[in-house]
A and B are shown apart, each in its own frame.
Chain A
């Protein structure tokens, strides 16, 4: 399973670090993704990182502001979010490739 944490309320321009703890599968052999869902909106892929961390991709909407990373020894995935904007307000899910296991999500609210 996957369990996200680290969400909360942050002011515009602020930073937040999300975590995703994995268990029950060989974490170090799978690409993991971050997907977000703004209130009342659809799913938006945010970022992905390959099993060894060699390949990293970002959606244009977060490129240059968000950084994905992983620690395979701790079976954990991270998303460092900087320069946050109101439009980043969403539930953030981590999901194992091929999107067959999802966490329950953690809410990020960017508001003054």
Chain B
């Protein structure tokens, strides 16, 4: 059971928009930056968003991040079948060092 709570799964049609939530507390999200990672089947995770809302070079602007209080959200617009993957949030936790969310499986219908 992770200290960061994500929905187990989300789904949407190609071209649509989806949001993935990550809920934490004042010991983690509330006072630290949040990152988001994409893990395609059988591959290593890939950094999508860092410091709440910044995208590394090469990450399309279809991916966005936001944070409010003790929750964070990953938004993906213009969904593509290639976006089907597991998505994880991550942040520093004052009690447990670094923590990841339980992961959310995105299905593009």
Q: Check if A100 sits within 8 Å of B103, measured CB to CB.
A: no
Docked pose: A48 CA to B45 CA in angstroms? 17
Docked pose: A93 CA to B39 CA in angstroms? 13
Q: Check if B98 sits within 8 Å of A42, measured CB to CB.
A: no
Given the known interface contacts A100-B50, A100-B56, the answer about A43 and B45 at a Cβ–Cβ threshold of 8 Å is yes
Please name all residues of chain B whose beta carbon is closer than 8 Å to the beta carbon of A99 when the two chains form the complex.
Answer: 35, 37, 45, 47, 50, 90
Q: Check if A60 sits within 8 Å of B96, measured CB to CB.
A: yes
On chain A, the number of residues with a Cβ less than 8 Å from chain B's Cβ atoms is 20
* Main DSSP-derived SS at the A contact region: strand
Docked pose: A81 CA to B57 CA in angstroms? 35
Partner of B98 from A45, A60, A100, A103 at Cβ < 8 Å:
A45
Q: Check if A43 sits within 8 Å of B100, measured CB to CB.
A: yes
Given the known interface contacts A98-B35, A100-B56, the answer about A42 and B103 at a Cβ–Cβ threshold of 8 Å is yes
Please name all residues of chain B whose beta carbon is closer than 8 Å to the beta carbon of A103 when the two chains form the complex.
Answer: 44
Of all A-B residue pairs in the complex, the 7 with the closest CB atoms, nearest first, are A102-B44, A45-B98, A42-B103, A43-B100, A100-B47, A57-B97, A42-B102
8 A-B contacts (beta carbon < 8 Å):
A43-B37, A43-B88, A45-B97, A59-B97, A99-B35, A99-B45, A100-B47, A102-B46
Q: Footprint of B on A, CB under 8 Å? A: 33, 35, 42-45, 48, 57-60, 93, 95, 98-100, 102-105
Q: Footprint of A on B, CB under 8 Å? A: 2, 35, 37, 39, 43-47, 50, 56, 86, 88, 90, 96-103
